[in-house]
Each structure stands twice: as C-alpha cells, then as structure tokens.
Amino acid sequence: MTTYSAVVTTGIYCRPGCGSKPLARNLRAFGHAAAAEAAGFRACLRCRPYRVAGPIGSDAPELVCRAVRMIIGGALDHGGTEAALAERVGLSARHLRRLFQQHLGASPDQLARSRRAHFARRLLDDSDLTVLDIAFASGFGSLRQFNRTMREVFHASPTDLRERRRKADRLVADGGLALRLPVLPGYDWDAARAFLAVRAVPGVESVAGEVYRRTVTVEGAPGLLEILPGGTDHLLLRAHLPYWEGLIHVVDRAGQLLGLDTDHTAAATALRGDADLGGLVRHRPGLAVPGAWSAFEIAARAVLSRGREAGEVTSWLGRIARELGTPVPGLPGGLSHLFPEPATVEAAGPARLGLPAREAAAIVAVAGAAHGEDTPLRYGARAEELVGVAGLDTELAQLIAYRLGDGTAFPGGDPALAAALEDLGITREDRWRPWSALAATHLICHGDTLARSAVSPL
C-alpha cells in the first residue's frame, strides 16, 4: 500500500521515495492522497504524488470497497450525493462517512474530488487537451467548479499547472490521446495480458505482442482503447474516442478491467504462506485480480462457460458480437464490432443469438436484468446479491462476481481453475477467504499455463 508523508511545517505531502529530507518530528503519514488533502496538505511539486497509483487496500472493509467502486463508477458525479451512495450500500450517510474517515482518512465526497483533480492534473501533464476539455473529461460539472477544485487541491489554477509541466511529460501518440495509467510497483502486466489474450472476444478484443486492444461504446458512439507497457509505475493507454467528455470514467473502466483499483498486497502476503498456493504467489507477486469492461459481457461469458474451455466460449461470444453488435470498420488487430448492449440482446431474443437454446435463453434473461439504474449486475456486486437474478445459481453468481470486484468470490466453475486444482491435488477450496478472488486468479493463471503446455509442440 502506498503511504504518503506530509510535512506539517511546509503543508506539502510527498510520495514514497521523494528526495526531500524533513525532520521526522514534522512528518505525518497518510494512506491515501485524498486523506492528506482533506487534512490541508498539497501535493509536492518535485515528486508529484498524483502520478502514482493509490488503490484501496484489499484489507479495507467490504462495504467501504463497494462504496469506492461506486464512486469510481461515477456515483458522486452529476449531482450524486453521499446520502444516495450510502443508501445504495445499505448504510446511513453519517455511518458511511465515519467508515471512510476511519479507513481512508477522507469522506466519500473528498475522495471523489481528489480522484477527479488527480486525473485532471495528469491530463494537464500528459496531453494537449484544452483546459475546458479537461474539465469535462475529468467529470467536473463546470469550468468554474474545475478551477475552484484545482486551486483547493493544488493551490494553483489549471493554466498555471499546465505551464509547470516538464518537457518529458507530454505524451506523443500516433493518433488518439495517450495517457499514463498508474500501477503499483511490480504490477504483472505480462500475466494480465496473457489472461486477457486467452479470453479475448473475436472482433471485440485482441492481444498482439504487448498491446491489448478493445472496442468500446461511449454514449452510443464507437471508440478504441489500446493498452501497452509504459514505465515501472505506469502503463500507457491510447484512447481513440469520438469526444472527451467523461473520459475519466472510460479510463476508470480500463483500470477496473486490469485490476488496478485494488491493492492486493495484504492478500498476497497472507497467501504467500499457504502450503498449496505459496509457490504460485511467490512466482507472480504482482498478480492482480482481473475485472470487467462490461458486467453483461462477463455474465454472458459465465453462462457459456459451463462445460466449455475458454476458446469455445470466446468463439460463441464472438458470434454474438457479429450477429448483434455494431460493425466498426477500419480498426487494427482484427477488431470489427462493438459488443452489443444488453437492451439490444433482450430485444433480439434467443433465436437471433445462434446459440444452444438453453444458453441463449439464459443470456437473454441476464440481458434483461443488466440494464437500468438499479440493476444488480454492476461492478462491485457481491456473489450472494446475484443469486436468483435472472435465474442465476450460486456457481454462475460466483463466476460473475469474481470479475465484478468481489474479493471473496471463488469461481469454482471456471475450467482453468478446476484444472489447476486437479493438478495441484487441492480438494478444499474454502480456506482462502477473504482472499478467495486472488487465490482463484493464481489458480486460473496456473490452469492457463497447463493448457498452453498441453498444446505446445515438443
């Protein structure tokens, strides 16, 4: 977990490894940048702590993690309130603020404000977008609100901050907008890329060399994201989008897909001593639990995964995309379609999917439950909340919740996971809670390795 050091005599907070040498008696430690800002400190101009990853630790209470995921999803944007957020997680607003202060050092509103301000500051550094474009790309409701927040957080106007950027900050992209995606030190991009490659939906996703690509929909219009290695503390994201308003949410969803929104340090430490998993964890210490771009897409994958290997599942998903998804010509890497929206699949009905009747009916039922303001099929859903939704049983609920951020989910129906359990001779699967999702990820990666070895030429 990233720990920020604040100097009470200067009012400045720094990231780990900053070259400043304040006296120890003048230091205060904060677990999150938002907490330091809530206490009145501003970011150091030398080490620029807004450029490092600051995910929520996997040891935080589940209710806090769920609320943070909802904030990342925009729950406090465009008039969203702490009271409405608290109601969604089943708490009073006062108790939710108390939990946030206790575990994060900042209120939900302060965390949301800090996230928007940090994203905007990175855009001011990385891109040539105008200040007005950056304001709306970062989720601010107006230029006035943007200017006020940036002055409060960074003690300077957006124009002044743009003038302070260093020559090496600006990213040059061959088309599109290039951004840095901060990651924790040691983040295992190779493992994330391999996981996505095995499960890439034909026409929608591709992995070529070190680059992951996927088509996305932004307010009904097509776009393309490309993710590739950057530096030790970041990946590079190239976004080809029709417009930049709400860009922060596109980048957040990319981060969720890659598992960047949770710090698994505590979970990895706990699992490293496990007799069966310890070797796998030590081999891939930077492994993160993969998330999802679309809850409906993951639900459809789960329905099709029973009794099928990953290759067959992706083939069926590609068929759905070709049949009902919007064609997008001229894209690289074999990309050709957007994955259809749930409403489109629901309206089309089972016959249009070209799938076995039982799975087609199940996917249409899931599609009916996957759209709307109050749908349970959203990022941050827990497995127990999904049981019974559109006829989902416990096994399917676990498969879906695992990719939607439930750290306690264990997708026992995943074929790669089942193969790993058999290979390692593990019969008891319930001993890894509350770190079940990370344990499952190590097992699935091991199962993928077994599958690749089985088809490799001698």
Residues marked active site are found at 14, 414
Residues 6+ apart with CB under 8 A from 167: none
From the list 233, 235, 249, the residue with the least C-alpha distance to 193 is: 235
205-208/211-218 β-pairing = antiparallel
User: Angle 197-205-134 (CA atoms, 0-180°, nearest 5)?
Assistant: 115
**Rg from Cα positions in the chain:** 22
Residues 6+ apart with CB under 8 A from 410: 398, 402, 429, 430, 432, 436, 437, 439, 440
* Cβ 442 vs Cβ 287: under 8 Å: yes
In one-letter notation, the amino acid at residue 422 is: E
In one-letter notation, the amino acid at residue 18 is: C
User: Angle 267-268-271 (CA atoms, 0-180°, nearest 5)?
Assistant: 85
From the list 150, 125, 145, 14, the residue with the least C-alpha distance to 76 is: 145
Bridge partners, residue 231, by sequence:
234
* Cβ 337 vs Cβ 274: under 8 Å: no
* Cβ 392 vs Cβ 363: under 8 Å: no
Residues 6+ apart with CB under 8 A from 65: 56, 58, 262, 380, 405, 407
